[in-house]
Amino acid sequence: MTDMPIRAVIAPVTPLQQNCTIVWCAKTKKAAVIDPGGEVPRLVKALADQGLTLEKIWITHGHMDHAGGAAELKRVTGVPIEGPHKDDQFWIDRIQESGEMYGMPEARIFTPDRWLEDGDVVTLGETQFEVLHCPGHTPGHVVFFHRETKFAQVGDVLFQGSIGRTDFPLGNHQDLLDAITGKLWPLGDDVRFVPGHGAMSSFGAERRSNPFVSDRAIAASKSADYTAPKNTSPG
């Protein structure tokens, strides 16, 4: 992203290849790390390589692969953690247990400096991002949206060609569909997004072809004989 008020680089972390994103204000070079799931030394080096000053840690949801490194990154840098929504507290409380299960014993629980609500605004240098509460994958999942550049970090709400899993505790498939179609789609087809795993896409592309939430799929889901496709997304 060049010649824009914000810039970003994606740094996949953990064996689950979660899309941690470093985003920064182009004018001030103040940065946020979104979803530091792990590999904190590599993230710190990436910040230094770009000549950035870390200002915030932003969390989309409390799953270990997205938030397991937040406590360590705060310890190393001293910057505040913002997000997710308070309904993900129980997932944050499970981070260390999940880390041990997946061979990442360095994952630690944390207490956010600021829980986020739908409609909140988070600042970064001279820019700001809107917060959208998008439950379904987890009850406290949030999305970060930069309106000027039509850029969103959606975590595990939406993927290229798929949507987040809802078979975890307190997951809700209908809540997820409602969040995507009711909160994300109105932002515009031209919004480009970074998902929690995999390649970037746009809302317009997913409305055309995503088997779960395309306009055609949503219309078909209202039919009595509709059978939902199997969800094999990584998150």
**Model confidence pLDDT, tens digit, residues 180-218:** 999 999 999 999 999 999 999 999 999 999 999 999 999
Mean pLDDT value across the chain: 95
C-alpha 32/C-alpha 54 separation (Å) is: 6
What are the chain's domains?
6-221 (3.60.15.10)
Question: Which residue from 42, 33, 47, 50 is spatially nearest to 14, judged by alpha carbons?
Answer: 42
With beta carbons less than 8 A apart as the criterion, state whether 186 and 226 touch. no
Residues 28 and 125 sit within 8 Å (Cβ to Cβ): yes
Residue with tokens 């820019």: 127
pLDDT of 226 over the 80 cut? no
Which residues contact residue 182 at a Cβ distance below 8 angstroms, ignoring those fewer than 6 apart? Answer: none
Q: Is 126 helix (H, G, I), strand (E, B) or coil?
A: coil
Q: Are 59 and 82 in contact, with CB atoms under 8 Å apart?
A: yes
pTM for the structure as a whole: 0.95
Half-sphere exposure of 90 (CA within 13 A, CB side): 8
> How far, in Å, CA of 158 to CA of 140, rounded?
15
Has residue 224 got a pLDDT over 80?
no
From the list 29, 23, 214, 215, the residue with the least C-alpha distance to 126 is: 29
Cβ atoms 22, 9 nearer than 8 A: yes
User: 42: left (phi > 0), else alpha (psi -120 to 50), else beta?
Assistant: alpha
Percent of the chain with pLDDT over 70: 98
SS3 163: strand
Q: 106-123: buried (b, 16+ CB within 10 Å) or exposed (e) per residue?
A: ebbbbebeebbeeebebe
The letter for the amino acid at 179 is A
Q: Are 146 and 129 in contact (CB under 8 A)?
A: yes
What token pair was written down for 212? Answer: 């779960």
Percent of the chain with pLDDT over 90: 87
Segment 35-41 shows an average pLDDT of 97
